[in-house]
């Protein structure tokens, strides 16, 4: 088995939410974690070190989650995404569906973090 851990970037403008999610995910040795409070901060972080998967809040100050995902994808900085949103009526917009995302990649706050980890593992195991 490889010792390599998957790089995961968690983007949420609510610091407490971001910290709680990072704390939960840190229990799993398979993830190398970083956090960002905005889409712009996340893109800067990804330019230093691309991620294998990004967990993205949709309502971010400045650049929203959809715009961030499209930018990160186009720049080749991240190829797999999980949406983490408080908007219970959120449905993936067509541009994200066109990237191959599915409604199963959307988790509503408060999230069942164990379900999210299972989806992350599935996405990270895909070719």
Coil, strand or helix at 51: coil
> Worst-scoring range by mean pLDDT, 1-10, 30-39, 69-78, 84-93?
1-10
Residue boundaries of the structural domains of the chain: 6-125
Quick: pLDDT tens for 57-107. Answer: 999 999 999 999 999 999 999 999 999 999 888 999 999 999 999 999 999
Query: What is the pLDDT of the chain when averaged over all its residues?
Result: 94
Geometric angle at alpha carbon 112, from 85 and 32, rounded to 5°: 80
CA dist., res. 8 & res. 17, Å (int): 16
Enter the CATH code of domain 6-125: 3.40.50.2300
Contact 115, 24 (CB under 8 A): no
**Prediction pTM value:** 0.94
CA dist., res. 83 & res. 55, Å (int): 6
* Confidence category of residue 3, pLDDT binned at 50, 70, 90: low
CA dist., res. 119 & res. 55, Å (int): 11
Geometric angle at alpha carbon 6, from 107 and 42, rounded to 5°: 65
Q: Which residues contact 25 (CB under 8 A, 6 or more apart)?
A: 8, 10, 31, 33, 113, 117
């Amino acid at each position: 088995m490889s010792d390599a851990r998957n790089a995961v970037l968690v983007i949420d403008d609510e610091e407490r939410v971001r910290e709680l999610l990072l704390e939960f995910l840190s229990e799993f040795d398979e993830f190398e974690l970083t956090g960002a409070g905005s889409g712009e901060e996340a893109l800067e972080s990804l330019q230093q070190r691309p991620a294998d998967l990004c967990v993205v809040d949709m309502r971010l100050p400045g650049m929203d989650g959809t715009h961030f995902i499209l930018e990160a994808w186009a720049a080749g900085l991240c190829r797999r995404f999980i949406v983490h949103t408080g908007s219970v009526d959120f449905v993936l917009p067509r541009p994200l569906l066109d990237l191959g995302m599915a409604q199963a990649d959307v988790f509503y706050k408060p999230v069942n973090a164990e379900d999210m980890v299972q989806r992350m593992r599935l996405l990270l195991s895909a070719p």
